[in-house]
Structure 1
Amino acid sequence: MSLFRIVQKNLKKNLSFYSLYLGSVAFVLMIFYFSISFGSNDLIVSRLMGDNKLQAMIKVVLPLLMAFVLFYMSYSNTFFMKRRMKELSIYALLGFNKRKVILILFLENIFICLLALGIGIIVGGIVYIALIQIVIQWLSISLDESSIVWFNSDAVLITVSFVALALIVLLFSNYRFIRKHTLLDLVKVEGTREKPIQLKLWKAMVGFVSLVAGYILALDIKRGADSLWVTVGFAPLSMLTFILIVVGTILSIHSFLPYALNKIKAAKHSFYRDTMIITIPQFVQRITSNSRTLIVSTLISATALGLLGAGVITFYYPVKAIERTNPAAFEFPIQGEGLTQKALGIVKQNVDADHIQSKQTTILEVQSSSKNLPFEYSAKEKAGFDLISASDYQSSLVLQGDAQSMNDLTGNQAIFIKYNQNNVDERGKVYTLIPPQGKPIDIDIKYTTLENTISFANSVGTLVVPDTLYQQIQATGVPSRQIMSIYGEGLRSNSVVHAQLIPLFADNVYFQSAIGKRTTFLQANSSSLLISIFASTIFLISTGSILYFTNISNTYSKINDFRILEKLGYRKSKIKKIVNYQIFITLIIPYILGSLHSIFALECFKTLMPNLIGDSSAFWLPEIVAIGIFTVIYGVYYLITQYSSYKVIWGRKVKVANASPPPNSKGYVSSFGKRRARSYK
């Protein structure tokens, strides 16, 4: 029988066992091909992103993905090798030398990778076309359809080269595995007993303390100026936190969790039960024997969740903040009555006049002689406070749809409009204003708010003062400027009006458009968000597959134990419960620790971003989305692993576990009969 015939039979008989591996590799190659296609189309990149941000991101992300995918494929390949020890030993007994065995395994990998490559390119091309069309429609971009090609020759070449590299890595991995095992190893490998576990209290305590200390340091960044991150320095504290988290993860999984579970044995009322007396010792054994896999899965899951959460936050939060940074649909400084009327005329031509409202606000520019002025004072092009009247402020809030009322200002009291939600509270502070004429005026800050009515492009460091005080200061001859704000139903998303207004304010950086700012941001960041989502999903799916293979391997090693339990009278439902516990503990450790790591990492990340809207849900929602995706992926893997484990114990025998039938070619049999003394070299 030819080697190709043997390979064909092996793949056919083991197809159900290889299906998840094939699917996950095909998915990874699909994302890989999609990313290359997206980044190599210069026209699309230039239209969606004016700079080379996307291409730079792909150059950074893809090598990391390639390294991880190679690790994942190598790990999965090693798993399949261990499960096929009996089959390999049969090949050896039939007279196959190691070179032929390695060649058989290499041909199998070629068939699997080529099939995954074909699926990945076809599905990746379809996803690429679909997503490009969605982005074009979403961002209302005019683009020549002929520039979007399903079959990108450069992307195909790079993807094929990567698959060739993966095959070389798998060939080298198989070679090392076969070379270091003798025939006796192959026959006895599944009969080896697990080594007794030796747990050390000091390792468990160091792991737990390191993890808690890392979390505390991560949260310390929220103390602002009093934080160690400020007094000691960001770089050393971030490195220390990273080391504590990694060391804590390693020792907690390797020592603390097994030690804690081992202590449950002392609680006789909970330990001596029909299922717990079996599951607890196996939990300890399983966590310890698979600690390396659990540690790697936890760290990779945390990295993927952190990347996904950070990507969603940096995309969702600025879009949400546009509602505040651009409170009006359109806003511009009044530089001439003719230009203003022309702009209003364009708006009225495209929108029902009954749905349009405009507001003219006069801003007074005044200097201050106070020390320790707020950040907003110095953030302006010309340092100073902007003053608006309480009546103008209140009427603008109504036009924005906000019923907030702070009209109880009296005397020299004022409302300070903050740029962001920082830890500094200006309430009760007194700032001295210096008008061009007259005496200095002390302003008492009664309220602070994030509800601004003028965009920050036109007013930063804004004070809302009573109308009487406003008129008094205005009479001193302070510089002033007028801002026109336009509101209207559906006007914030009206791209037609935006396109017609742009030529009027082509060189005016103070012209503000809500739809323009949103479109610009989406064009600049949508592609990066897609790349981060796909990269994170690859990490999560690959780690889920690794844990799947680990659980199936454990089930195979304990299959005789389950059969003994059946003979002892354990019902099928009880054995299923034990199996479910064992699968659950393997998945829940990376899930909980990975989620916790990502939450604390994102807390540090969020602190570095200015909180422009003061709404914590704008930060928490992306984290919930990231963990929700994580939950769905691991939930699916739990169900798949559960089904496969049941199938291993009670269902149709999985071919890879019981070895493919030896070749029945007479030539090989007679050859083996003549050379039965031949050694496996």
Structure 2
Amino acid sequence: MSLLDLSWRNMKRNIRLYTIYFISMLVGVIIYFTFAGLMFNEDVVTAIQNKENYKTIIFVASMIVFLFIVFFILYANSFFMKQRKKEFGMYILYGMKERQVASMVFYETLFLSAISVTSGIFIGGLLSKFFGKILMNLMHYKDDISFAFPLEAVVSTILLFALLIGIITFQSYWNVRRMQIVELFHAKEKMDKPLQFSMPLAILSVLLIASSYYTITMGGTSNLWKDYFKESLLATTVALIVGTYLFFRQFSGWILQRMSRSKNYLLGNKMLWISSLRFSIRGNTVNFTFNSLISAVIIFGVGFIAVDYAVKADVVRKEYPNDMIFSSQDNRTQQQIEQILNDSHPILAHETITGIQTEKIANRKPFLDHPDYYTEEFTIFPEAQLNAIVDLRGVGEKVDVKGDEAIVLTRGIDQPKTYLSTLPTMTVFGDHTFQVVERIRFPLLSIPTDASGGSEHQPSVLVISDEAFEQLKGTRPITSYEVYKIEDPKTSNNVSRQIYDIVKRTEGSYYSAFIDMYSIDIESSSLILFSVAFFAAIALFALASVIYFKQLREATEEREHYAILRKMGVHDNVMKQIIWKQLLFVFLPPLLLGLLHSWFLLYYTVILIIKDLPALTTIIFSVMGLYVLTYMIFYVSSTSIYFKIINEKNTR
């Protein structure tokens, strides 16, 4: 019998074990090809405004995904190899060489990989349309995405998974070579010893977690975080990690130990599942700790990015409040621009504002906290025109300026301020002095934009009374701007580019549009959210699979014990109850502690800070709910498989 025949017979004889391994590889191929397909999908690339940024983010994300998949599949292969130790021992005992065993594993891996890569590329190609549509919806684009199997994506998938096959083969050969025959035959006979638990260490775990929570609740505004940010961050992280480890190593073990000494320990099936858990605490501690901490990171990361995405439009709108504003054009050009707008995004409101540009103001520190972000020249507007723009936008408060009073307009980086005692003064054109009474956040002129977003300084703006403006303008040149409010500005990319090209024919013309910065920001935010959500799904799948594989191995090792229970008259229903309770303790504590960690992080870094987003808690609880639902699916699946495994010997 050749190695190929032997490999084929092995796969048919142990279809369940090979199916688990195959699914792991298939999921890896699907996830990677979905990302690669999006990177080279012509419909998606055409719709994206910042194509280089998109390809860079997707490429980096696909590489991270692939590396994660590599580690996950190597873990699955390690589980696969451990389950077959006794089988390998038989082959070596019958005279097969280690190299031949490794070759047999290579043929099996090659066959499974060929099927998984072919199937994964097909399924990934179908899913790429679905995920491409999700990405377009996140970016608020209405472009259609077609089914596509880009050649570049297919080739890169095949090459990368060919590399992975080589890595798996080397890992398998190394594992076989370093195992002794005696170890192979007795691999499943090793058992963990019950660990002795310490009440002081159990209490210490709770204190460490509580102290890290308390430090988080103090917030970034406390002196501790302000003066010792790095030290506080390091101490909180270490306390959380050590506390979580001791919680599973000592506190949960101590609870189980206390339960084993209770009066009702021998009642029902309590003794059976508690004793099993006490023996497995040592081996599960690292997995529990890792799963709990990574769960917290995943939920916090996805929640934080989802909230950032949700508030992105409001943030951009505050900094770029004008749907479109540009230097006034001649009548013919103005009519052309308005015709372009009305053909695609009808004009809802229009105002013309006029201002006077001052000379450079050397010392702007009395009026602005961050003068380097603003132009050195101020543009002066009368109060009536500011009030007209308040009406046009439907946002902000009208002002009433008297005499030589003036108001400085700022953006988000400079906080609003009312000057009560000493009023700073500003002298313009050598002989006109104004007293600045207030600084308000209302960007009348937003940062100039182009295809890549804002790239210049924020125009400095001073608002004075209408009477003072009339006296000031005299023979000085007036600068006029056209402000438009249009229908559905979030989809006005193309029309904005057309009008930008027209306005910029005149050298030195000013142009700024909400969509220019919004499209850049929303694309980046959408890509980050899309990628992080993908990473979270992969990480969750990997974390739950680690527990899943471990439980399958333990189920295989426990078959003899359950066979004895069956001979003693224990019914299937009782065994199912034991398994449900035992695995619930394995899945639930890491999940609950991870949720608790993430809630403290999200509540004190997001929820308390962003108070004006109605859907904030809905977003956070949706992320947590999806995570819990996926985790519970693995739990139910594990209990079902566990019960089937312990019954295998009895059903043959």
**TM-score if structure 1 supplies the norm length?**
0.75
**2:55 & 2:458 partners in 1: Cα distance?**
36
Deviates more, 1:411-420 or 1:588-597: 411-420
Counterpart residue number, 1:672: none
Structure-to-structure mapping, 1:67-106, within 5 angstroms? 67-91=67-91, 96=96, 98-106=98-106
- Decide whether the 8 Å contact of 2:288 with 2:590 is kept in 1: yes
**2:171 & 2:354 partners in 1: Cα distance?**
74
Establish whether residue 493 from structure 1 lines up as the match of residue 491 from structure 2.
Answer: yes
Deviates more, 1:36-45 or 1:77-86: 36-45
**1:20 & 1:522 partners in 2: Cα distance?**
39
Equivalent of residue 259 in structure 1, options 254, 262, 281? 254
Counterpart residue number, 2:23: 23
Deviates more, 1:636-645 or 1:126-135: 126-135
Equivalent of residue 330 in structure 1, options 310, 316, 324? 324
In the TM superposition, what is the alpha-carbon distance from 1:321 to its structure 2 partner?
2.7
- Decide whether the 8 Å contact of 1:370 with 1:432 is kept in 2: no
- Decide whether the 8 Å contact of 1:333 with 1:483 is kept in 2: yes
Counterpart residue number, 1:295: 289
Counterpart residue number, 1:232: 228
In the TM superposition, what is the alpha-carbon distance from 1:548 to its structure 2 partner?
1.1
- Decide whether the 8 Å contact of 2:309 with 2:529 is kept in 1: yes
In the TM superposition, what is the alpha-carbon distance from 1:549 to its structure 2 partner?
0.9
Counterpart residue number, 2:183: 185
- Decide whether the 8 Å contact of 1:414 with 1:444 is kept in 2: yes
CA offset digits 1:203-247 (Å, max 9, x no partner)? 545544444444555555531xx554543355x655555444444
Cα 1:310–1:99 change in 2 (3 A) is same
CA offset digits 1:328-356 (Å, max 9, x no partner)? 4322344666654543344345566xx72
Establish whether residue 13 from structure 1 lines up as the match of residue 13 from structure 2.
Answer: yes
CA offset digits 1:154-206 (Å, max 9, x no partner)? 54444334333333333343334434444443333333332121234565455
**1:600 & 1:417 partners in 2: Cα distance?**
37
Cα 1:503–1:278 change in 2 (3 A) is same
Counterpart residue number, 1:358: 350
In the TM superposition, what is the alpha-carbon distance from 1:433 to its structure 2 partner?
4.2
SS at match of 2:424: strand
- Decide whether the 8 Å contact of 2:409 with 2:444 is kept in 1: no
Unaligned runs of 5+ in 2: 449-456
Establish whether residue 250 from structure 1 lines up as the match of residue 255 from structure 2.
Answer: no
Counterpart residue number, 1:167: 165
Cα 1:211–1:416 change in 2 (3 A) is farther
Deviates more, 1:366-375 or 1:393-402: 366-375
CA offset digits 1:303-342 (Å, max 9, x no partner)? 5445545554554443443343333432234466665454
- Decide whether the 8 Å contact of 2:88 with 2:101 is kept in 1: yes
Q: Match for 2:283: what amino acid?
A: S
Query: What percentage of aligned pairs have identical amino acids?
Result: 19
Establish whether residue 587 from structure 1 lines up as the match of residue 587 from structure 2.
Answer: yes
Structure-to-structure mapping, 1:102-501, within 5 angstroms? 102-128=102-128, 150-152=149-151, 154-201=152-199, 203-204=201-202, 207-218=205-216, 222-223=220-221, 226-232=222-228, 234=230, 238-263=233-258, 274=268, 276-305=270-299, 308-309=302-303, 311-312=305-306, 315-334=309-328, 339-350=333-344, 356-361=348-353, 373=367, 375=369, 379-382=373-376, 389=383, 396-397=389-390, 399-400=392-393, 419-420=411-412, 426=417, 431-434=423-426, 436=428, 441=435, 443=437, 455=446, 470-471=465-466, 473-475=468-470, 477=472, 482-494=480-492, 497-501=495-499
In the TM superposition, what is the alpha-carbon distance from 1:554 to its structure 2 partner?
2.6
Cα 1:144–1:267 change in 2 (3 A) is closer
- Corresponding pairs, count: 632
**1:494 & 1:268 partners in 2: Cα distance?**
73
Structure-to-structure mapping, 1:477-626, within 5 angstroms? 477=472, 482-494=480-492, 497-506=495-504, 510-523=510-523, 526-527=526-527, 529-562=529-562, 572-596=572-596, 615-616=612-613, 623-624=620-621, 626=623
Cα 1:433–1:619 change in 2 (3 A) is farther
- Decide whether the 8 Å contact of 1:221 with 1:227 is kept in 2: no
**1:186 & 1:74 partners in 2: Cα distance?**
20
Cα 1:365–1:168 change in 2 (3 A) is same
**1:509 & 1:301 partners in 2: Cα distance?**
52
**1:58 & 1:491 partners in 2: Cα distance?**
27
- Decide whether the 8 Å contact of 2:366 with 2:424 is kept in 1: no
Deviates more, 1:320-329 or 1:335-344: 335-344
- Decide whether the 8 Å contact of 2:212 with 2:236 is kept in 1: yes
Q: Match for 1:358: what amino acid?
A: H
Cα 1:376–1:203 change in 2 (3 A) is same
In the TM superposition, what is the alpha-carbon distance from 1:89 to its structure 2 partner?
4.7
**1:204 & 1:22 partners in 2: Cα distance?**
41
- Decide whether the 8 Å contact of 2:323 with 2:515 is kept in 1: yes
CA offset digits 1:76-131 (Å, max 9, x no partner)? 22222333344445545655454444433333222222222222222233444665
**2:134 & 2:32 partners in 1: Cα distance?**
19
In the TM superposition, what is the alpha-carbon distance from 1:566 to its structure 2 partner?
5.6
**2:24 & 2:404 partners in 1: Cα distance?**
67
